[in-house]
């Protein structure tokens, strides 16, 4: 059964810094890897979806990579801004529903 | 495209009452929808998979008689929390897969429903 782990659990950085969030998964037969953002008390905002045949996806200041062989994905945020403060969740699926990690709570300090 | 709505967004009820939450795919058809639950400061945990026209598949530890799921059409799934108790207070989020998405297993998420049981 797929298990997803995210490190660190919380991260605080000054504005403008580049940062990396890590996600690892146990089942390499992953089909999709998605990164989401969740603001306090709100639902999920999908950031990036990487399919198993892909290595990375980019959207604006965000870049997500997928390495199936090592069971890892990273989310790179460039030039962080206070508005990036949120919880970031990664989730993976085979031909199964998405399994979520516990998230990384990011605070970007102005 | 690929919009999923939930109704209501927030509900407060007394202990012992039943609450129905609707999940709709607005611009696509979904043969499969999923219901997740999220407790404060926790991640999303899958409760059940809802298949159009058939019985839902529940995850281990989720009481199917307490959390009734109906997926009567390709655009609507409902979750009914029966005889709700304070420990059922949580954030309930649904998601759906596009029937015509081919090999993509992408799930589109609703905005969630916050249930508070007094």
Tens digit of each residue's pLDDT (9 = 90 or more) over A36-87:
999 988 899 999 999 888 999 999 999 999 999 999 999 999 999 999 999 9
Across all residues in chain B, what is the average pLDDT?
Answer: 92
Tell me how many degrees the CA angle B95-B97-B103 measures, rounded to the nearest 5: 145
Quick one: what percent of chain A has pLDDT higher than 90? Answer: 75
The answer, yes or no, to whether residue B3 has pLDDT greater than 80, is yes
The answer, yes or no, to whether residue B114 has pLDDT greater than 80, is yes
Between residues B52 and A77, which one has the greater pLDDT? A77
The answer, yes or no, to whether residue B1 has pLDDT greater than 70, is no
Question: Alpha carbon of A95 to those of A1, B8, B54: distances in Å?
Answer: 12, 30, 19
| pLDDT at residue B102, rounded to an integer | 64
Size of interface A-B (CB pairs under 8 A): 47
Quote the CA–CA distance of A34 and A59 in Å, as a whole number: 13
Quick one: what percent of chain B has pLDDT higher than 70? Answer: 96
Residues in chain B closer than 8 A to A23 (CB atoms): none
Residues in chain B closer than 8 A to A49 (CB atoms): 106
The answer, yes or no, to whether residue A1 has pLDDT greater than 90, is no
Would you call B111 and A99 a contact, using CB atoms and an 8 Å cutoff? Answer: no
Strand partners, B11: B115
| pLDDT at residue B76, rounded to an integer | 94
Q: How far is B47 from chain A (nearest CA, A)?
A: 10
First to last CA, chain B: 37
Residue in B43, B110, B112 closest to A100 by CB? B43
| pLDDT at residue B103, rounded to an integer | 61
In three-state secondary structure terms, A72 is strand
Would you call B112 and A46 a contact, using CB atoms and an 8 Å cutoff? Answer: no
Q: How far is A59 from chain B (nearest CA, A)?
A: 17
Strands A56-59 and A62-67: antiparallel
- Match 């709700």 to its residue by tokens: B84
């Amino acid at each position: 059964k797929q298990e997803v782990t995210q490190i660190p659990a919380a991260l605080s950085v000054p504005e403008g810094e580049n940062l990396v969030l890590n996600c690892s998964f146990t089942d390499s037969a992953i089909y999709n890897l998605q990164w989401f953002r969740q603001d306090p008390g709100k639902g999920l905002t999908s950031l990036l979806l990487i399919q198993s045949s892909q290595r990375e996806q980019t959207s604006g200041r965000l870049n997500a990579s997928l390495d199936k062989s090592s069971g890892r994905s990273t989310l790179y945020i460039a030039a962080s801004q206070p508005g990036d403060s949120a919880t970031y969740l990664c989730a993976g699926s085979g031909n199964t529903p998405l399994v979520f990690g516990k998230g990384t709570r990011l605070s970007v300090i102005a | 495209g690929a919009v999923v709505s939930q109704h209501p967004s927030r509900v407060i009820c007394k202990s012992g009452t039943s609450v129905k939450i609707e999940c709709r795919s607005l611009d696509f058809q979904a043969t499969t929808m999923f219901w997740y639950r999220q407790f404060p400061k926790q991640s999303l945990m899958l409760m059940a998979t809802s298949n159009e026209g058939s019985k839902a598949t529940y995850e281990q530890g989720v009481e199917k008689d307490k959390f009734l799921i109906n997926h009567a059409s390709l655009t609507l799934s409902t979750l009914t929390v029966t005889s709700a108790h304070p420990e059922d207070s949580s954030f309930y989020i649904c998601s759906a897969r596009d029937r015509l998405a081919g090999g993509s297993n992408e799930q589109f998420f609703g905005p969630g429903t916050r249930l508070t049981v007094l």
